[in-house]
């Protein structure tokens, strides 16, 4: 590949403050999130669309902007500054990648209404669209999965704060953590706990958040001090009732839990099998549930992980293969369970089981009725 000429690099530097300038980051303070409005979000979306359509004026002198072939470029003027071909611009979040205060509020209110968006991360995405569709269906609204005025009018009936202040406790700081989690099951089996990696990961899961969002809301926070106060999501109380039947919809990548009157008690995005190890079909029953389970790995019964050809007992913990909860199904080796990486729900495959965030699996486990709740796989 030809090296960039000094002319090209100089133009990039000269244009840095215009064509490459990013819009200001949205305010992620507690007050800004709790007062975020649909109108402000719509204005930000329109501004972003306009910026995408007009990325910046091109240089007026076409000759000066023309590329120069490698080896033909003139020497830079004496005393001029040039950029190294390997130099990279400062790493700044792209506008579309930045969490939005209004989307944080929307996701919290969806979660509080038991239409789980998975991790609360302040970004639009597939799992949030699933949650919106589930909410719209449950409330007899026109179903399109889009954040619009009708959805916001319904959600904002809940006028409670979306985020709150939380002060770290000694228990938060002193509980057991593990610095690194191996990916190999053989290495996992040698440990005695697949605990959280640290207080930020633990608290992110407690408040249903993406850990990156927790850190973005609390830049520079000291997670080792009881004096630290954090901005966290307030997802509200867990769902209540008794689940009569569960529908695992493979086509939607989503789980729905219904009571005996066919009312949705909760919905959640789910990872449901994979091409290599598809999930089962048909209907089965819930045998029971087990919090903080160990995992019995048997390559002869299900799948082989890496070079592990022998049975292994993987220790318990939220970062284990089945997360913090196992809901056992009547079909042997299959279950509904938690996950060590909540942000990957619905984005990666599973080994045939139904994978939820740890908190969604824990909420569902409180609602199922052993030997009575049925689970239907469809789609």
Q: State the DSSP string of 346-360.
A: TTS--SSSEE--HHH
What pLDDT was estimated at residue 198?
98
All CATH 2.40.440.10 domain ranges of the chain, comma separated, are 245-378
What pLDDT was estimated at residue 70?
34
pLDDT at 64 over 80: no
**Taking residues 53-68, what's their average pLDDT?**
50
Beta bridge partners of 286: 329
pLDDT at 189 over 90: yes
Q: What is the pLDDT of residues 209-242, one digit of tens each?
A: 999 999 999 999 999 999 999 999 999 999 999 9
What pLDDT was estimated at residue 231?
98
Beta bridge partners of 269: 254
Band of pLDDT at residue 259, cut at 50, 70 and 90 = very high
Query: pTM to 2 decimals?
Result: 0.83
Q: What is the pLDDT of residues 260-282, one digit of tens each?
A: 999 999 999 999 987 777 888 99
State how beta strands 374-378 and 245-249 pair. parallel
Reference 155, options 236, 82, 218; nearest CA is 236
Using the Cα atoms of residue 333, residue 334, residue 335 and residue 341 in order, give the sign of their dihedral. positive
**Taking residues 190-212, what's their average pLDDT?**
98
Token pair of 99 as six digits? 């969490």
**Taking residues 276-301, what's their average pLDDT?**
92
pLDDT at 331 over 50: yes
**Taking residues 191-198, what's their average pLDDT?**
97
What pLDDT was estimated at residue 51?
85
Percent of the chain with pLDDT over 90: 74
What pLDDT was estimated at residue 232?
98
Band of pLDDT at residue 97, cut at 50, 70 and 90 = confident
What pLDDT was estimated at residue 316?
98
pLDDT at 367 over 60: yes
Task: Give the 3-state secondary structure percentages of the chain, helix then strand then coil, rounded to 5.
Answer: 30, 15, 55
**Taking residues 247-270, what's their average pLDDT?**
97
Topology of domain 245-378, CATH: L,D-transpeptidase catalytic domain-like (2.40.440)
What pLDDT was estimated at residue 23?
59
Asked if 208 contacts 357 with a C-beta cutoff of 8 angstroms, the reply is yes
Coil, helix or strand for 120? strand
What pLDDT was estimated at residue 22?
52
Mean pLDDT value across the chain:
86
Q: In sequence order, which residues have a C-beta less than 8 Å from that of residue 261 and are 6 or more positions away?
A: none
State which H helix or E strand residue 233 sits in.
strand 229-233
**Active-site residue set:** 337, 353
What pLDDT was estimated at residue 156?
96
Token pair of 30 as six digits? 């507690």
Residue 132 C-alpha from the chain's centroid: 15
pLDDT at 344 over 90: yes
Q: Give me the residue label for tokens 């509904």.
A: 336
Instruction: Give the CB-side neighbour count of residue 52, counting CA atoms within 13 A.
Output: 9
Beta bridge partners of 228: none
**Taking residues 280-300, what's their average pLDDT?**
95
Using the Cα atoms of residue 316, residue 348, residue 119 and residue 203 in order, give the sign of their dihedral. positive
State which H helix or E strand residue 43 sits in.
helix 38-53
Q: What is the pLDDT of residues 130-181, one digit of tens each?
A: 999 999 999 999 999 999 999 999 999 999 999 999 999 999 999 999 999 9
What pLDDT was estimated at residue 319?
98
């Amino acid at each position: 590949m030809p090296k960039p000429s000094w002319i090209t690099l100089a133009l990039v530097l000269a244009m840095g403050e215009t064509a490459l300038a990013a819009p200001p980051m949205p305010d992620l303070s507690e007050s800004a999130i709790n007062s975020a409005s649909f109108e402000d979000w719509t204005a930000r979306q329109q501004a972003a669309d306009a910026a995408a359509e007009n990325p910046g004026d091109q240089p007026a002198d076409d000759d000066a902007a023309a590329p120069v072939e490698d080896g033909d470029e003139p020497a830079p003027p004496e005393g001029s500054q040039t950029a190294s071909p390997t130099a990279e611009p400062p790493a700044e979040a792209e506008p579309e990648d930045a969490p939005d205060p209004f989307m944080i509020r929307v996701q919290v209110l969806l979660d509080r209404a038991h239409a789980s968006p998975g991790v609360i991360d302040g970004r639009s995405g597939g799992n949030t669209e699933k949650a919106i569709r589930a909410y719209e269906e449950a409330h007899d609204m026109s179903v399109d999965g889009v954040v619009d005025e009708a959805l916001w009018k319904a959600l904002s009936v809940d006028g409670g704060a979306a985020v709150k202040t939380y002060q770290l406790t000694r228990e938060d700081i002193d509980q057991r953590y593990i610095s690194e989690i191996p990916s190999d099951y053989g290495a996992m089996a040698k440990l005695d706990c697949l605990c959280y990696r640290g207080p930020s990961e633990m608290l992110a899961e407690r408040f249903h958040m993406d850990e990156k969002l927790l850190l973005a809301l609390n830049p520079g926070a000291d997670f080792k001090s009881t004096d630290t106060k954090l901005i966290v999501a307030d997802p509200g109380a867990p769902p209540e009732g008794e689940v009569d039947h569960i529908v695992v919809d493979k086509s939607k990548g989503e789980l729905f839990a219904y009571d005996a009157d066919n009312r949705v008690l909760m919905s959640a995005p789910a990872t449901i099998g994979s091409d290599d190890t598809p999930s089962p079909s048909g209907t089965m029953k819930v045998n029971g549930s087990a919090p903080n389970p160990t995992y019995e790995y048997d390559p002869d019964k299900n799948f082989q992980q890496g070079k592990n050809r022998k049975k292994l007992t993987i220790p318990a913990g939220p970062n284990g293969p089945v997360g913090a909860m196992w809901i056992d199904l009547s079909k042997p080796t299959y279950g509904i369970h938690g996950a060590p990486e909540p942000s990957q729900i619905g984005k990666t495959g599973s080994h045939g089981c139904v994978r939820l965030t740890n908190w969604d699996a824990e909420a569902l486990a409180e609602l199922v009725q052993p030997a009575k709740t049925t689970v239907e796989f469809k789609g």
